[in-house]
Amino acid sequence: MSFQDLAAALLLLLTAVSGAYGLFALYCVLAFFGKSEERPAEAPDMPVSVLKPMKGTDSELQENLLSFCGQEYGEYEILLGCMDPADPALVVAERAAAMGKGCPFRTVVSGRPLGVNQKVSNLQGLVELARYPFLAISDSDMRVDGKYLRTVAAEYQREENAGLVTSLYVIREPASAGAALESLTIALDFIPSVLVARRVEGVTFGLGASLFLSKKALGDIGGLPAVADYLADDYQIGNRLWKKGYTVVLSRYVMEDVAGAMSIRGYVTHQIRWARTYRACRPGGFLGYGVTHFLPLVLLLLAVKGLTPLSGVLLASVFVLRYGLAFAVYARVIRKRAWLKWLPLVPLKDLAGFFIWIGSFCGDSVSWRGDRYRIGRGGKIRPEGVRDASFPQTVK
């Protein structure tokens, strides 16, 4: 057998596996979002502190913060925190608090560093001042409606051994081509991969869009100091709770990410950070993630063997599966007609995703909120340029 024939056989096998994954991912999406929504008759009696760590002014930050007002819920408070008293996010937070009359906002400045991850240090200050035993943590670029707390608290209450309820997210109205690529990546890659993992092994991680948990559960894993030197603190919290024997629940409530006018460069930078973090936390799973790149694999097969009836069928199957998945996520989750105009970018996004996956193996440096870090095995980070012999190096 020639090298060309061997390469073609390998690529054919990989494309078959990729196509099977695509079908299974579509099934997982339809099955998860096809369930009837269970709405509790009344909000659970679980007082909640909503924690919003901030750094800098995200797009539409004021509107994002105000969206947490008016929850169809009993007792709750909203804590808005920054590490730096001069952070412009505080001005926006105080304006939102003034506008949200009757809304239980509090602003917090906590400059005490807990570890390398500044967001975790910020969160620690919020947790220490939180009045209530239950916490709902979400990123500052997330937006919700009045059903958010009611839904996630009820899901927590229904699960006998719940340690965490965590949420998916979408970008429903991209404001730029970069934001559209980010939105398509979330809809066609991130959400299906989470739902496939849920079906295969259960949910063993948290997602930063929303973490609903108790102070007790957080204390059982060593509290926030245990994850203060890790980039993916959300993943670490969920994974450590799962290892402790708690159940991690994937909520049916989907958060809305307000990405703003993200640039193409911003999209690539964010995806590289996500990919290198995923590789550090779950190296085996990330390596296997390569087989999900259906379109690039089929194009490689075409480059090796040329256009044949089989490769033509596979190429057509790519578009049927990818756009079938896109319309499934649109119909079940996104439901904003303006989103559809970005669907011609799907092949470009798939090719970019493949090269980002490859590029993630070419270094361990990431950019996050204006700072550069090196990421080691397990997701532990240190500021770039700081030497530390004890730092666990990423396997190259």
Q: What is the DSSP string of 210-221?
A: -EEEEHHHHHHT
Q: In what order do the strands lie in the sheet with 142-143?
A: 142-143, 255-257, 169-170
Torsion of Cα atoms, 143 then 66 then 102 then 72, to 10°: -20
Q: Sorting pLDDT into bands at 50, 70 and 90, what band is 393?
A: very low
Is the pLDDT at 368 greater than 90? The verdict is: no
pLDDT of 390: 46
Residue 38 — very low, low, confident or very high, per pLDDT cuts 50/70/90? Answer: low
pLDDT in tens, 194-220: 999 999 999 999 999 999 999 999 999
Q: How many CA atoms lie within 13 A of 117 on its CB side?
A: 21
295-to-62, 136, 225, 318 alpha-carbon distances in Å: 40, 38, 42, 6
Q: Which residue has the tokens 């965590």?
A: 166
257-299 pLDDT per residue, tens: 998 899 999 999 999 999 999 999 889 889 989 999 999 999 9
Out of 61-65, 95-99, 227-231, 298-302, pick the least confident: 95-99
Least confident window among 19-33, 154-168, 302-316? 302-316
Query: What DSSP state is assigned to residue 367?
Result: E
Q: For helices 118-129 and 233-243, what crossing angle results, to 10°?
A: 60
Cβ–Cβ under 8 Å, residues 318 and 23: no
Domains and CATH numbers, the chain: 3-32+271-383 (no CATH), 39-261 (3.90.550.10)
Which of 109-113, 147-151, 231-235, 346-350 has the lowest average pLDDT? Answer: 109-113
Q: Across all residues in the chain, what is the average pLDDT?
A: 91
Q: What is the pTM of this model?
A: 0.92
Q: Could you tell me the sign of the dihedral formed by the alpha carbons of 320, 322, 326, 332, in that order?
A: positive
Residues of 104-118 as b/e, b for ≥16 C-beta within 10 angstroms? bbbbbebeeebbbbb
86-100, 229-243, 336-350: segment of lowest average pLDDT: 86-100
**Cα 119 off chain centre by:** 15
Q: Which helix (H) or strand (E) holds 81?
A: strand 76-82
